[in-house]
A and B are shown apart, each in its own frame.
Chain A
Amino acid sequence: MVQVVLIVVQLIMLLALAPFIVGVIRKVKARLQCRRGAGLFQPYADLAKLFRKQPVRSSTTSWIFAAAPYIVFASTVAAGLLMPVFLSHTPLNFAGNIIALVYLLALGTFFLILAGLDAGSAFGGMGSSREAIIATLAEPAMMLSILAIALTAGSTNLSTIVHQSALLEGVVLAPPAHLMALAAMFIVTLAETGRVPVDNPATHLELTMIHEAMLLEYSGRYLALMEWAAGIKLLVLLTLIVNVFAPWGIATSLAPAALATGTVVYVLKVAGLAVVIGVIESMFAKLRLFRVPELLGAAFILALLALVFFYTLRG
């Protein structure tokens, strides 16, 4: 029973927090541009409005187009349920390890790419094609960087990794490996969630957009689900970073005090990371598409070095 409650709480938390994180990033960017910007809760209002609007569909599309938002939403939410959020022991830990999480996100990407192609406009195809190459290059780097940390904990199950590191209370076993893997993971997160310098979520310029291009034909509830799923994906990857690389403060037991601290610390950490992303988005320009492989290649090398360091430092 407790397990079910925990799953539901985690689900609600992910669903509820995702638009807030998007709001934080937008607010930070606005402030850095000397604008007041919309309120932190604007994304909620946007989603509610989109859900109520009548969707418009292209007459050339198939059922894939209508099913894709639900599949993308479902795969992202399912991925989110596999990882620890505010409690180091997530009930669904047994259902999938880090590879399952990465591949669940890939399932969403697959249908997103198909959805982009279905309407038959050049923009969608352009977005899908670019998404395909970026997802391709990001995946190995992501896998290796998490593996480096997984080996420290002796497990690829996220809860075990997080629980083990949380119990160490701030001690990092192999700092260079840890930092390099963190850097790799951060770059991958920027790429996977369509952030500057890889993609710009605020643009609809056909020459540069990637994620937005695939969503171009969507409206109404379909768009709402896609936008929400994108927010959840960002939150999932940020949670992964804060909990795998800096799990300190996370609740390691079901004691109410620990749970309360765990939740507050988690929200603060994720919001903090969102501020960092906001700052990065304001500081850097978007890279040309064919410079992105260099960035992701660097992430891959960093992750590989993390692995080498892990073995050489620990013998």
Chain B
Amino acid sequence: MTVLFVGLLAIYMAGIIFPPCFPGRPRIQNLVAHGLAIGAGLVGTALGLAGLLAPEPWTASAESTIPFLSFAIRLDPLASFFVLTISVVGLAASIFALGYVTEFYGRSSLGAMGSLFNGFLLAMMLVVMADNGFFFLIVWELMSLLSYFLVVTEHEKAEVRYAGLFYFIMTHVGTACIILTFVIFSQEAGSFSFEDFRHPDQRLPDGLRSIAFFMALIGFGAKAGIVPLHVWLPYAHPAAPSHISALMSGVMIKTAVYALIRVYFDFLEGVFPWWWGFTVLSIGALSALLGVMYALMEHDLKSLLAFHSVENIGIILLGIGAGMIFHTYGLHELAALGLLAGLYHTINHATFKALLFLGAGAVQFATHTRDIEEYGGVLRRMPWTGLFFLIGAVSIAALPPTNGFVSEWLVFQSLFLSVQLPTLFLKLMLPIAAAILALTGALALACFAKAFGMAFLAQPRSAHARKAVEVPVSMRIGMGILAGSCVVLGLAPMLVVPLLDRVTGPLTGVAISQKVLALDGWVVAPVTVEFSSISTPVLAGLLVGAGLLGLLIARWLGKGVPARYTRTWGCGLPLTPRMEYTATGFVQPIKQVFETVYQPTVKLEREFLEQSKYFIRHQRVEFHTEPLFETYLYRPVVRKLLALAERLRVIQVGSLHLYLTYIFVTLVLLLLWAG
């Protein structure tokens, strides 16, 4: 393990240092940066697996001269699981990047980009491995800053700069809350070491613990993109180059999930009132539903995917929240199940969301646009990208037998098992959460039917889409790895569940792998076979078998007559792309049904002929939906803050002497207070 860890560190350091050493030679910079990242991805995968299978957590540390800070590393199963996730996605993104970044030759500095890319990956790895509060905050901040620089890669565009600023502010509000959480814990533990957080000298009063809970939820929630702290995410994630978006949406937001589990189940030792779990569950349900609803109205492919990250974080939190509730009532097996469901969805979301972002990047690479309305007919031009995107779409829509289905199914089960809870309120609330999840799933299906159908099917709607060609082979390999992972994670829960069980076991105190898997692992059955069971391999077999049966019957009766090709009937007119349904039209019924959420407005401008108002010369229609949280929550707060800042300008007159006086007065006051 030591060798693997040092190797990982060394490769990433090389990946940070070497790319800028070849200025003006983007090809070499690209090869060096992403080649090293691929190597690190392989080493990281090995490290993650080794950590998951190791009997004891692996630790290492180096003391520093700064008080409270020590560079402590601890690789327990929870950390290893996230290392594995980051590595697999990082590997695929690096391979994809080899071909993808050729687009940036001559436009952006490949040296800086490659350096930042490796640094960002390393920072994420260290975040999940850090075992000291100070060290954690440093690498957490590093991760945020490096991703900020990557977001603003195309800083010549104003909207990218705006997205970057928004992200920068939100992530620092989050960091402030995290610092508060750790300060509270350090009061309890007497140091900033996570080891002491785990075994505090005395337990804090409940009030302070609750503050720590909320601060952690806000701090990490801001990074994870929970509603209502999600507003930055749909701006920042799409603004970055696609392989970075894949990392941000696929794994960076997962570091927040990691931290939440670490804080709630490890530091707080799972001792908490039921309403903590209920709060997490409610936020999960809200995020899931609103995330997918806003995604439906997005016609920028990457923004759409970013909103789906909000949705999936919600689904993960539904699992974790249910686990927390069960934990409060001492139902440890169910707690482990909820947590396991959340973690399973975490790795699934990492794979299919990264896959979809890479797919979106590939389509953008080929068409130079992100607007779904300008796509169409891409499947015939980019068959591989189309197939991979379809696998991702089916997975994220949680359709059997894909990986998304398995984990969403597990979340459903943990919600349905609420029958065993003692209070009627929770017994009713968890099934309602399940109904919200069902609605979310159905909306996600509609959303990806729209995304895939509008982008890849029918006729091209613009010259860009007509000219699209398949992307280079390295980009296809990157997507292929993730598509393969989606299939394996879906069809082989018998491999995944025992590994996850090693993560949840120490946190909840029970191992449930034997109970969740029945019949040699062919059946997933939490917690008893009588309550519920699925078997994705059998379902896949059934689907293939029934499909072949249909094929046979069609062959047998139809004697294999080949189909005749002709144009689609366009009511007597030649069919043009303008006759197709648009993405806007497709979601119109949904917009109308859920108008309370969207508050849609239509602006209609018409110019008439002078002679008669019955003849329109020119007409313009604008559709608009109201982003509720931005309008009613953020804008008033920002306005108040700006007004306050305006007032404070009185004391900032620009005179250096005056500022020195301020410093002096403050110092005197502080000394008086301390004395």
Tell me whether chain B's interface is mostly helix, strand or loop, or mixed: helix
A107: chain B residues at CB < 8 Å are 394, 399-400, 543
Q: Which of B106-114, B475-483, B546-554 contacts its partner?
A: B546-554
For residue A13, CB closer than 8 A to chain B, the reply is no
For residue B364, CB closer than 8 A to chain A, the reply is no
Contacting pair B454 A73 (CB below 8 A): no
For residue A81, CB closer than 8 A to chain B, the reply is yes
Q: Give Cα A246–Cα B590 distance, bound, in whole angstroms.
A: 35
What 1/0 mask marks residues of chain A from 267 to 293 whose CB sits below 8 Å from any chain B CB?
000000000000000000000011001
Which residue of chain A lies nearest to B519 when distances are taken between CB atoms in the complex? Answer: A94
Q: Which of A31-39, A112-120, A172-180, A258-266 contacts its partner?
A: A112-120
Interface residues of A in 94-152 (CB under 8 A from B): 94-97, 99-100, 102-104, 106-107, 109-110, 113-114, 117-122, 124-126, 128-130, 132-133, 135-140, 142-144, 147, 150-151
Contacting pair B459 A60 (CB below 8 A): yes
With beta carbons under 8 angstroms apart, the residue of A56, A155, A308 that contacts B566 is A56
What is the distance, in angstroms, from B197's C-beta to the closest C-beta of chain A? 39
B530: chain A residues at CB < 8 Å are 154-155, 157, 160
Contacting pair B400 A121 (CB below 8 A): no
With beta carbons under 8 angstroms apart, the residue of B399, B424, B458, B558 that contacts A118 is B458
Contacting pair B579 A57 (CB below 8 A): no
Interface residues of B in 559-606 (CB under 8 A from A): 559, 561-570, 575, 577, 579-581, 585-590, 592-593
Q: Give Cα A15–Cα B379 distance, bound, in whole angstroms.
A: 33
A102: chain B residues at CB < 8 Å are 438
Q: Give Cα A51–Cα B556 distance, bound, in whole angstroms.
A: 9
A155: chain B residues at CB < 8 Å are 530-532
Q: Give Cα A117–Cα B459 distance, bound, in whole angstroms.
A: 10
With beta carbons under 8 angstroms apart, the residue of B449, B523, B553, B563 that contacts A54 is B563
Contacting pair A224 B554 (CB below 8 A): yes
How big is the A interface, by class?
35 or more
* Number of B residues, CB within 8 Å of A: 91
What is the distance, in angstroms, from B423's C-beta to the closest C-beta of chain A? 11
Contacting pair B446 A92 (CB below 8 A): no
Contacting pair B563 A120 (CB below 8 A): no
Contacting pair B405 A57 (CB below 8 A): no
Contacting pair B453 A157 (CB below 8 A): no
What is the distance, in angstroms, from B500's C-beta to the closest C-beta of chain A? 20
Q: Give Cα A136–Cα B444 distance, bound, in whole angstroms.
A: 9
Contacting pair B539 A304 (CB below 8 A): no
Contacting pair A110 B445 (CB below 8 A): yes
With beta carbons under 8 angstroms apart, the residue of A78, A125, A142 that contacts B585 is A125
Q: Give Cα A149–Cα B448 distance, bound, in whole angstroms.
A: 31
- A60-B567, A64-B457, A114-B453 are contacts. A103–B579 as well, Cβ < 8 Å? no
Tell me whether chain A's interface is mostly helix, strand or loop, or mixed: helix
For residue B53, CB closer than 8 A to chain A, the reply is no
Which residue of chain A lies nearest to B418 when distances are taken between CB atoms in the complex? Answer: A151
- A95-B535, A126-B581, A143-B435 are contacts. A293–B593 as well, Cβ < 8 Å? yes
With beta carbons under 8 angstroms apart, the residue of B518, B529, B543, B579 that contacts A78 is B543
Contacting pair B544 A74 (CB below 8 A): yes
Contacting pair A156 B531 (CB below 8 A): yes
Which residue of chain A lies nearest to B457 when distances are taken between CB atoms in the complex? Answer: A118
With beta carbons under 8 angstroms apart, the residue of A66, A99, A225 that contacts B412 is A99
With beta carbons under 8 angstroms apart, the residue of B442, B529, B543 that contacts A94 is B529
Q: Give Cα A75–Cα B577 distance, bound, in whole angstroms.
A: 31
Q: Give Cα A78–Cα B525 distance, bound, in whole angstroms.
A: 19
Contacting pair A62 B456 (CB below 8 A): yes
Contacting pair B459 A308 (CB below 8 A): no
A313: chain B residues at CB < 8 Å are none
Contacting pair A157 B581 (CB below 8 A): no
Which 8 A-B pairs have CB atoms at the shortest separation, nearest pair first?
Answer: A125-B581, A120-B458, A51-B557, A74-B547, A117-B453, A74-B546, A132-B446, A77-B546
Interchain Cβ contacts under 8 Å between A and B, 20 examples: A51-B557, A59-B567, A60-B377, A60-B458, A70-B551, A77-B550, A92-B538, A95-B523, A95-B534, A110-B445, A113-B449, A120-B575, A129-B586, A132-B445, A132-B446, A132-B449, A140-B442, A144-B438, A157-B532, A290-B593
